[in-house]
Amino acid sequence: MHRYNSIIIGAGHNGMVCANYLARSGQKVLLLESSDSVGGLASVREFHPEFKTSIAHSISYFSEKVARDLNLKKHGFNLDAAPLPTIGLSADTNHIVLQGGRISGVANDDEQSYGKYLELIQRFANMVKPFWLQTVPPIGNNSLPEIMSYAHLGMNMRLMGKADMREFLRILTLPMRDLMDENFDNEILKAMLSWDGLIGSKLAPRSPNHSLITLLLRMSGPTAHQVSSASVKTLIEALHSSASASGVEIRTGAPVAEIVIGDGAEGLLATGVKLDTGEQIEADCVISSADPKKTFLDLVGVQHLEIGFTNRIRRLRADGYVAKFHLALKELPEFSGLDSPDGRLLIAPDMDVIEFAYDDAKYGHCSMVPVMEIVIPSIHDETLAPAGQHVLSAHVMYVPRYLQGGWDDQVREAYTQLLIDTIAKYAPGIREQILHHELLIPADLEREYGVTGGHWHHSELSLDQSLMMRPTYGAAQYQTPIGGLHLCGAGCHPGGGLMGGAGHNAAQEILK
Amino acid sequence: MTSEQFDFSREQLKRSHFHPRQAAFNVRDAWSAWNGYKFADCYYDAEYEYFCVRNTCGTYDICPMQKYNIKGRDAEVMLNRMVTRDITKSRVNRVSYVVWCTDEGRLIDDGTIFKLADDEFMLVCGSPCTAWLEKSAFGFKEVTITDVSDEIAALALQGPTSCTVLRKMGLDGITKVKPFNISYFPFQGESLMVSRTGFSGDLGYELWVKPEQALELWDALYAAGANYGIHPFGETATNMARIEAGFIMPGFEFNEALKTVHFEHDQTPFELNLGWLVDFKKSHFNGRSALLAEQTRGARFTLTKLDIEGNKTAEGSFLYGNKQCSLEIGYVTSAMWSPAVKANIALAMIKTEYLGGNIWAEIYYEKELRQYSKVARCEVKEKPFWMPARARANPPAGSLV
Ligand SMILES: Cc1cc2nc3c(=O)[nH]c(=O)nc-3n(C[C@H](O)[C@H](O)[C@H](O)COP(=O)(O)OP(=O)(O)OC[C@H]3O[C@@H](n4cnc5c(N)ncnc54)[C@H](O)[C@@H]3O)c2cc1C
């Protein structure tokens, strides 16, 4: 008998969710985290004394089921916290505000179209919603329950009626650009609505692929195109406290160096892990929330894997294109034409600006006209900054990991100034309020958070790497070619973002 | 029109390092191509060349064989994970016959691995496999793979008098070289690598030199072999010899799995009767889980040696479990009339479950432009049709002349 039924590698939110479910089912669970705190990309980051934020700065679709199952409310996380508006900043202060189902700042036509658009997209989002919280079975040789889950999807589609079904199939892989141009006139509005389909991926408005599906995933929560006012910090604290309460043993500062592989009757078996210190811990089952490339290529090692499989993992696209920009501010910044910068602020004047930023990044450059999403999390969580002071957190899109000529200090400084200038266009006084700034490019995220490519989803969320093929066949369905080794992080279906879907599904699969 | 207009951008088959000498022998101009090299089907007469291999000796050009130098601290683990056999058991200066498979346990190719040093190997195989080697090496830090196919001149010398010829050529100690061993001999100021390997099933060697020495080697060999019946042999004679020896050949017994389109139009080592090359006790290797499952389940087909009644060769024949030919149980992959053993022989893939029962071949043959068919009884043979003791003997019999 091993001391542990399961060892989970990585105490990001998915690792904690998975560990919690397993512990609740009666398993003895050890959760190992390499850094000194839990939360992974959502962990608290003190980037300047007493100024804190996290890489993932907002919550928009955390699973209600997971929150309920794990009693997160009791542990201090309120999923029902009021949603915040998304505000499309306009240089002439004619900002567009999306809140609830309402929109302001656009012409009548667009306002009406928005109502219809939102209703349709929300219907689609509701239809596919059950699939985010279940295993998508592989294709071929299916068991009855697996066939049923496809039947269920087919059924949901039929129930939508023929017109909807046709429309769903038509727009499913459509570029955001086409979808927006079909529906709206206002350029800022189009950029805003497409944002949620693009953020985190290597896709631009004109890319046909996965952006609508990503959008539907992000709309699986209660707050379409909005973010919750609940802070990421309370979510991670609640997940931590709930996991501990369920009996999960959590060890931070415990990097796993190797997944120990032994020989079983039907092939190789994961029998435990070896830490950096050399300490070896045995378990019946090892579950990794580290990204797929890291899990297989570094922790398992290619000598234990098939050659074709190894090369599919090698070919996974996992270059992150989102940089983080943090400002410690003396006071709350003032954005022209806004009563309060409370909400999610988007700087993306039109879809072409987004597209060109992508084009630049694709060829190893940084756009001179950056696009970004800003939140000021200290408005709703005063523990993040000293009284009266604030943190500004921005996701800057399409920042390449490999810059032509390289990322040296000079380039970083120039880019930092460009970002400040860009924000100052909308918040003219901000430069004087800055106490400290921090720029984290994808390579920094990779180094500091142990995520290959610093990728939002651990591995690109695109048609070839999604659903029953996420991260790739042979490692999908939370199983791997190695017995007793499972995945449970963002690299699995349904992908990244603070949701808990992957951790939840992995636990269900393991407990089957 | 000039011939230049037809020369397809002057694309040309490469000439082997031995070409000048071989071309002189090739009185029929019977050239075809192999891996981009101009290659002889036969030189004068395939049967004649076959008899040289069986009764005296012959040379077979293996310059077109693909040769990869695999070097570095991780070379051995990398190769060991690629092939099904445990090559860590092999010593320096030994050659191992190996096969390698896809993740699904289907045979990609067979070949030989020469262990040149603890951290240096040469893989020799019939088809280019750079891409697979590169994929196999991914994740191993210290291994470099170099395609040295064109940088080595290699010639096989096969047949009963081969050892004697090498001795006459001055390779002192050649009689001590054991099967699958590698040895080095001084040759005209350089080093000549000799391995006791080959594809004929008889006593034989393969000789490896720098390209600059190719013609000197040829001349020395043909001078020494003048009284020992030496003659070059081409593809046709090789194919005859290897069928008698029971060796598999791509395009006949197996399809290289990376090139097949249809699922299961390729084979597994178990189906090819090469289960002895699959070592489940060694560390993980590619296709292991699939092969383990196949071992438990049993191979669907088994490559079988058949002795067929009559003298009509069974090329392309279907095999049946009954004389009425209503129960199809397999197909012939290679067949010939074997002059050496005076038998109508064949290699065939037979559904394993029918191996114990009767086997009938439906043979189509032609007589003066008329087509006939017959159903012939087949007998399963366990041993290769041609396996003379001298092939393995130490020192090889007859070599002390
Ligand atoms: C720049 C950026 C901004 C983002 N913003 C948002 C946002 O605003 N909202 C949102 O919902 N999502 C956002 N995301 C996405 C979201 O952060 C991730 O998808 C999500 O946090 C992934 O969670 P996880 O638990 O699967 O993995 P992670 O959070 O990456 O956790 C994995 C954990 O495993 C640990 N680990 C790795 N290797 C080892 C090892 N060998 N031994 C021990 N531990 C190990 C790591 O330290 C880490 O703690 C953002 C992502 C990025 C990159």
Q: Write the DSSP assignment of B349-400 as a string of letters.
A: EEEGGGTTS-EEEEEEEEETTEEEEEEEEEEEESS-S---GGGT-SSPTTTT
* Residues B129 and B171 reside in one and the same domain: no
- Domain total in chain B: 3
CB contact under 8 A, B138 and A268: no
Contact status, residue A499 vs residue A488, Cβ threshold 8 Å = no
B391 found inside a domain: no
Q: Alpha-carbon distance A123 to A119, whole Å? A: 6
Instruction: Report the residue among A456, A459, A460, A478 best suited for mutation to probe ligand 1: largest number of ligand atoms under 8 A from its CB.
Output: A456
CB contact under 8 A, B135 and A267: no
B143 found inside a domain: yes
CB contact under 8 A, A314 and B283: no
* Residues B38 and B75 reside in one and the same domain: no
Kindly state if the Cβ of A208 falls inside 6 Å of ligand 1. Answer: no
**Looking at residue B217, what DSSP letter applies?**
H
CB contact under 8 A, B103 and A309: yes
Spatial CB neighbours of A444, under 8 Å, sequence gap ≥ 6: A454
What residues does B39 pair with on adjacent strands? B32
| CATH code of the domain covering residue B79 | 3.30.70.1400
What local confidence, expressed as pLDDT, does residue A264 receive? 83
What local confidence, expressed as pLDDT, does residue B8 receive? 64
Residues of chain A whose pLDDT is less than 50? none
What local confidence, expressed as pLDDT, does residue B4 receive? 60
* Residues B119 and B46 reside in one and the same domain: no
B35 found inside a domain: yes
* Residues B156 and B241 reside in one and the same domain: yes
| CATH code of the domain covering residue B170 | 3.30.1360.120
| Contacts with B135 from chain A: Cβ below 8 Å | 307-308, 310-311
B397 found inside a domain: no
Interface of B to A at Cβ within 8 Å reads 77, 81-82, 102-103, 132, 135-136, 138-140, 283-284, 286-289, 292-293
What local confidence, expressed as pLDDT, does residue B11 receive? 74
Q: How far is A140 from chain B (nearest CA, A)?
A: 14
What local confidence, expressed as pLDDT, does residue B337 receive? 98
What local confidence, expressed as pLDDT, does residue A159 receive? 84
B176 found inside a domain: yes
B398 found inside a domain: no
| Contacts with B266 from chain A: Cβ below 8 Å | none
* Residues B160 and B234 reside in one and the same domain: yes
Residue nearest to atom 32 of ligand 1 (CA): A12
* Residues B162 and B25 reside in one and the same domain: yes
* Residues B127 and B205 reside in one and the same domain: no
| CATH code of the domain covering residue B309 | 2.40.30.110
* Residues B56 and B91 reside in one and the same domain: no
What local confidence, expressed as pLDDT, does residue B6 receive? 63
Contact status, residue A90 vs residue A229, Cβ threshold 8 Å = no
Q: Locate B334 and state its tokens.
A: 């290679």
How do the pLDDT tens digits run along chain B, 401 residues long? 556 666 666 678 999 999 999 999 999 999 999 999 999 999 999 999 999 999 999 999 999 999 999 999 999 999 999 999 999 999 999 999 999 999 999 999 999 999 999 999 999 999 999 999 999 999 999 999 999 999 999 999 999 999 999 999 999 999 999 999 999 999 999 999 999 999 999 999 999 999 999 999 999 999 999 999 999 999 999 999 999 999 999 999 999 999 999 877 999 999 999 999 999 999 999 999 999 999 999 999 999 999 999 999 999 999 999 999 999 999 999 999 999 999 999 999 999 999 999 999 999 999 999 999 999 999 999 999 999 999 999 998 655 54
B255 found inside a domain: no
Last residue in a domain, options B150, B168, B203? B150
pLDDT per position as a tens digit, B85-99 = 999 999 999 999 999
Domain extent for B360: 300-384
* Residues B31 and B164 reside in one and the same domain: yes
| Contacts with B77 from chain A: Cβ below 8 Å | 303
Q: Locate A473 and state its tokens.
A: 């066949």
Distance (Å) from CA A217 to ligand 1 centroid:
17
Last residue in a domain, options B127, B150, B173? B150
Kindly state if the Cβ of A33 falls inside 6 Å of ligand 1. Answer: yes
ipTM for the predicted complex comes to: 0.94
| Structural domains of chain A, with CATH | 3-40+232-316+457-511 (3.50.50.60)
* Residues B215 and B102 reside in one and the same domain: no
What local confidence, expressed as pLDDT, does residue B7 receive? 63
Kindly state if the Cβ of A328 falls inside 6 Å of ligand 1. Answer: no
Q: How far is B282 from chain A (nearest CA, A)?
A: 10
What local confidence, expressed as pLDDT, does residue A190 receive? 98
| Contacts with A261 from chain B: Cβ below 8 Å | 284
What local confidence, expressed as pLDDT, does residue B400 receive? 52
pLDDT per position as a tens digit, A300-347 = 999 999 999 999 999 999 999 999 999 999 999 999 999 999 999 999
CB contact under 8 A, B139 and A309: no
Last residue in a domain, options B245, B268, B289? B245
Q: Which of A261, A263, A297, A307 is most worth mutating to test chain B (most B CB atoms within 10 A of its CB)? A: A307
B389 found inside a domain: no
What local confidence, expressed as pLDDT, does residue A121 receive? 95
What local confidence, expressed as pLDDT, does residue A151 receive? 83
Q: Which of A261, A298, A306, A316 is most worth mutating to test chain B (most B CB atoms within 10 A of its CB)? A: A306
* Residues B214 and B350 reside in one and the same domain: no
* Residues B95 and B222 reside in one and the same domain: no
Kindly state if the Cβ of A490 falls inside 6 Å of ligand 1. Answer: yes
Q: Alpha-carbon distance A352 to A360, whole Å? A: 12
Contact status, residue B113 vs residue B145, Cβ threshold 8 Å = no
| Contacts with B82 from chain A: Cβ below 8 Å | 307
Contact status, residue A508 vs residue A481, Cβ threshold 8 Å = no
